[in-house]
Amino acid sequence: MTVSTHGLRLKSGSHALRSGVELLSSMRFSISLLTVICIASVIGTVLKQQEPLSNYVNQFGPFWAQVFGAVNLNTVYSAWWFMLILAFLVVSTSLCIARNTPKILADWNQLKENVREQSLKAFSHRAEEGLGESPEIAARRIGQTLVQGGWKVKLQQRDAAGGTGWMVAAKAGAANKLGYIAAHSAIVLVCIGGLLDGDLMVRAQMWLNDKSIYTGGGLIADVPARHRLGEGNPTFRANLLVAEGTQSSTAILNQPGGVLLQDLPFSVELKKFIVEYYSTGMPKLFASEIVIHDRETGEKTPARVEVNHPAHYKGIEIYQSSFDDGGSSVTLKAVPMAVGAQPSSKLFEIQGTIGGSSSLTNGQGEDAQKMTLEYTALRVINVENFSGSGNLGSSGADVRKVDLRQSIDARMGAANKTKEQKELRNVGPSLTYKLRDAAGQAREFHNYMLPVKMDSDEFTPALFLLGVRETPAQPFQYLRIPADEQGSMEGFLRLRRALADPAQRERAVQRYVKQAVAADRADLAQQLAASASRAVALFAGPDQTGAAGQAKTPAGLQAISDFMEANVPEAERDRAGEVLVRILNGVLFELAQLTREQNGLKPLPVDERTQAWMAQTVLSLSDAHHYPAPMTFELKDFTQVQASVFQVTRTPGKNIVYLGCALLILGIFAMLYVRERRLWVWLAPAASPGDGVADEKGPESGSGSRATMAMSVNRQTLEGDKEFEMLKTKLLQVPL
């Protein structure tokens, strides 16, 4: 029996109805739907699902972001058209099964023993042989042999030329056809399970029970009932965040444009969160010690939830999904970054909670800038790569030194070969926060708590890393401030405040000139003082009162470079630049010494360590002029509170999907590895002596028989050829 690919053909009804049923029940239509589902699944795998709209805009642009939203490509698996295709696939495949199953079952017991002798000669696998047995004896022997080999056999006696003949009809591998039923039934079961465990039930409740998506904020307890799904919801997949020492009984279902709240028949209390890390900083184990509180009986059930080891309670599975901050408290110290800011009016400490915010005011009166400090994230462990290409390592490769062969070799060879050696190091806690102005515009900042030693040179100072970026799509750019001998930024800040004071700069110039020029060279001292004053004034910048990052005129090394291009001939710029930078470094060193004397500190020693600190300080002073905020915040202390993110699911379709997967495996195995074979052996009396035909296996007595054997298989393979030769030898070549 051959499975038909056309659809179910009705004999009555309108032409449109008959055509629709024929299309819907055809195997071609089912395969087309399955292809569309596969393509949609690929899109859903490649394109991140349920991301904020801004992420798609940043990555693909406004046009494609709108296209994705219009056709729900950002939520493929819950899109209405995806559910509709699944439903059509269930109906179409079910009709295919209903159309072909009766034929398969009817063909199950049919051995087709009525086939004619002439038809056997048309098969590709055929053989003829004379036997020394009578047709009946040969038929019974052959039938018994086939039964012992696992064949289903039927003997038929019928008239033949010269006497009575016997037909032996046999069949094996009938399970091949059952593979068709199993595989197609598996598709139906998997799709039904997907529909049950998908958003179909949630959408149905929204339509039938007048539920709507919640788009606001605030406390979970204040969300109205029309945005909540009851405990009797038959299927859901939601997220539950629980901080250490707290409990929660309301999960969140993410929906396009908002959320729905799912009330649980129990509450989950997080006793302790456990996390272990690899040397790379990636978590290798995170688990939660929880207590499940039954809301109806008050029963308490302790459990431990790990990745791939969920807890089960009242038909609901609790999976360990991820972890987050549970509201850690942080203490921050405000560090002024505005040019000329004084420590007495700008330094303060502020306490906050991760996920919360604080209101700030920069200045007084009508010109005061109102800002909001939003505490975004606290990371206690930061493992960074300090190799040449690491995140915090040196700058990019020199294009003049690119070795093509080395570049190719680095990308070829064994899979475990690494392109470069990694130097991983934990640099301690970091804080991420946002400063939002009155207009709602925000910049994101990422500051490390401890100074970071960037290389192994003992004289290179450790650096405070102050990161900033305009949008989440951009990488952080870091201002690097050298730590002083006390491991703080105070040395840099003192020098920056003094640099903004013209009187302090003039004192430093005079000290520098006094040490650089002999006392009897008054004319040279006057010229050097003028050059030094000009250089340090250019470096400090003319705008001494505005906030950092708001100066309209250049400052730092850029200002000196612009001055050189405008006033020094090109041929003399290199030499003049070296002299000017040397003078600038000397004045800044004296300015640093002056600030230390004023604060009762010992002078900086003249050694390599001081030289390295001053070199980095000059670069940091030049870059700090462009820091886009009037202040930065240094993490001084914190109390970490961990939180677990659980995925709570009720999936009645899970067992249906498991059954479908088992049937799919069995069906594919049956169709690929079970060959359906049919065998016929026609045994007719041997020709009589009068016919002039002698029996090769016996005397010309007419007691023998003539056998005609043929075999058909559903797939032509080498195994089929070998099996036919084996059967021919075993059944027909019988010694006398």
CA 518/CA 238 separation, integer angstroms: 80
Express as a percent the part of the chain with pLDDT over 70.
86
CA 331/CA 346 separation, integer angstroms: 16
Mean pLDDT in residue range 359-384: 79
- DSSP letter for 573, please: H
Nearest to 597 by CA among 709, 494, 446, 515: 494
In this prediction, residue 139 carries a pLDDT of 92
In this prediction, residue 337 carries a pLDDT of 83
Amino acid at 236: F
- Helix then strand then coil, in percent of the chain rounded to 5, is 40, 25, 35
CA 599/CA 486 separation, integer angstroms: 14
Query: What DSSP line would sit under 276-310, residue for residue?
Result: EE-TTS-EEEEEEEEEEEETTT--EEEEEEETTB-
Amino acid at 427: V
The partner residues of 709 in beta bridges, in order of sequence, read 127, 681
CA 368/CA 623 separation, integer angstroms: 25
- Residue 157 reports pLDDT greater than 70: yes
- Residue 699 reports pLDDT greater than 70: no
H/E stretch holding 512? helix 502-516
Higher pLDDT, 51 or 736: 51
452 contacts 473 by C-beta, under 8 angstroms: no
Mean pLDDT in residue range 567-586: 86
Mean pLDDT in residue range 236-264: 89
CA 5/CA 186 separation, integer angstroms: 18
- Round the CA-based radius of gyration of the chain to a whole number and report it: 43
CA 164/CA 107 separation, integer angstroms: 28
In this prediction, residue 171 carries a pLDDT of 92
In this prediction, residue 546 carries a pLDDT of 42
Give the pair of three-digit tokens for residue 530.
């003028």
Query: What DSSP line would sit under 195-260, residue for residue?
Result: HHHTTHHHHHHHHHTT---B---S-GGGS-GGGEE-TT-S-EEEEEEEEBT-EEEEEEEEETTEEE
pTM of the model: 0.66
* pLDDT, tens only, 714-724: 888 888 889 99
To which residue do tokens 């056809």 refer?
177
Nearest to 577 by CA among 590, 559, 599, 595: 559
Mean of per-residue pLDDT scores for the chain: 83
pLDDT band at 313 (very low <50, low <70, confident <90, very high): very high
In this prediction, residue 147 carries a pLDDT of 93
305 contacts 290 by C-beta, under 8 angstroms: yes
Pseudo-torsion of CA 728, 732, 735, 736, nearest 10°?
-170
Query: What DSSP line would sit under 597-640, residue for residue?
Result: HHTT-PPPPSSHHHHHHHHHHHHHHHHHTT-SSSEEEEEEEEE-
- Residue 82 reports pLDDT greater than 70: yes
pLDDT band at 701 (very low <50, low <70, confident <90, very high): very low
In this prediction, residue 57 carries a pLDDT of 82
* pLDDT, tens only, 606-664: 899 999 999 999 999 999 888 988 889 999 999 999 999 999 999 888 889 999 999 99
In this prediction, residue 420 carries a pLDDT of 56
Query: What DSSP line would sit under 397-453, residue for residue?
Result: PPGGG--HHHHHHHTSS-TT--SS---EEE---EEEEEEEETTS-EEEEEEESS-B-
- Residue 93 reports pLDDT greater than 60: yes
Phi, psi for 373 (deg, rounded to 5): -95, 115
CB atoms within 10 A of CB 429: 19
To which residue do tokens 């016929």 refer?
680
Mean pLDDT in residue range 594-601: 91
CA 186/CA 671 separation, integer angstroms: 14
pLDDT band at 340 (very low <50, low <70, confident <90, very high): low
In this prediction, residue 736 carries a pLDDT of 39
Give the pair of three-digit tokens for residue 535.
């250089």
- Residue 710 reports pLDDT greater than 90: yes
pLDDT band at 231 (very low <50, low <70, confident <90, very high): confident
- Residue 415 reports pLDDT greater than 60: no
| Least confident range of 412-416, 539-543, 650-654 | 412-416
Express as a percent the part of the chain with pLDDT over 90.
31
First to last CA, the chain: 39
324 contacts 643 by C-beta, under 8 angstroms: yes
To which residue do tokens 């047709």 refer?
135
